[in-house]
Amino acid sequence: MTILDIVTLPHELLRMKTEPVTQFGDELQQLIDDMIETMREAPGVGLAAPQIGRSLRLAVVETLPDYDEQGEEIEGTRDLYVIANPEVVWTSRQEVAGIEGCLSIPGYLGEVFRPEEIRIKAQDRYGRSFKLRLHDWDARIFLHEIDHLNGVLYIDRLTSKENFWTEEEYVAMMEEERGSEVAK
Ligand code: NI
């Protein structure tokens, strides 16, 4: 497997609509394996094809694990998904704000509203159709990756333009908040 280069802003591919996946042969299998490896190495929870320089409606997503009482990751509680030609078929009206970052916009974080619950359909790595119903954080990751396939980035969806920080600013802000809670 190969670790692929992740393109960053202002790379033009990040702003383009991608092409449908039509060939599910060996070349695609290799690409998917490389994308999974690249996502894990980064590390990230999702990676879309334009981020590694390919104009394809293809992304990989790995959900967050469950943790035991000691805070250790419980093996086997991460779910890995390959989505080819995904479509969002339903979104809840209820939206939730959450913090997002992107491997193509390194060093920054922003607050984004996303639907609390979604339903999507997609094809797996072999072209078989499947449907998924996703909530909260999982829904957020999938929507972020599907946005990439349409040239949309989370910075286009900020809750306000002030709610965009460098990682250092965000960490400092969280520490300050924690401090003020203690002071109460
Ligand atoms: Ni991203």
Q: What is the CATH number of the domain that holds 27?
A: 3.90.45.10
HSE of 94, CA atoms in CB hemisphere, 13 A: 6
23 C-alpha to center of ligand 1: Å?
Answer: 24
Element (H, E) at 67: none
* Token code pair at residue 24: 């599910």
49 C-alpha to center of ligand 1: Å?
Answer: 10
Residue 162 pLDDT grade (very low, low, confident, very high; cuts 50, 70, 90): very high
Q: For residues 150-169, give the mean pLDDT.
A: 97
Residue 184 pLDDT grade (very low, low, confident, very high; cuts 50, 70, 90): low
pLDDT in tens, 97-143: 999 999 999 999 999 999 999 999 999 999 999 999 999 999 999 99
Q: Is residue 151 part of a domain?
A: yes
126 C-alpha to center of ligand 1: Å?
Answer: 24
Q: Is residue 5 part of a domain?
A: no
Amino acid present at 12:
E
Q: Is residue 7 part of a domain?
A: no
Is residue 59 within 8 A of residue 46, CB to CB? The reply is yes
pLDDT in tens, 43-93: 999 999 999 999 999 999 998 888 999 999 898 888 999 999 999 999 999
**SS3 at position 91:** strand
Just list the catalytic residues: 145
Range of the domain at 150: 12-65+77-183
**SS3 at position 144:** helix
Is residue 120 within 8 A of residue 131, CB to CB? The reply is yes
Structural domain total, the chain: 1
Q: Is residue 71 part of a domain?
A: no
Burial string for 41-78 (b: 16+ CB within 10 Å, else e) reads eeebbbbbbbbbebebbbbbbbbeeeeeeeeeeeeeee
101 C-alpha to center of ligand 1: Å?
Answer: 7
Amino acid present at 154:
Y
Residues with CB under 5 A from ligand 1 (ion): 102
**pLDDT score of 180 more than 80:** no
Is residue 107 within 8 A of residue 21, CB to CB? The reply is no
103 C-alpha to center of ligand 1: Å?
Answer: 6
Q: Is residue 1 part of a domain?
A: no
Task: Please give the pLDDT value at position 183.
Answer: 60
Hey, how many other C-beta atoms are within 10 angstroms of the C-beta on 152? Answer: 16
Q: Is residue 162 part of a domain?
A: yes
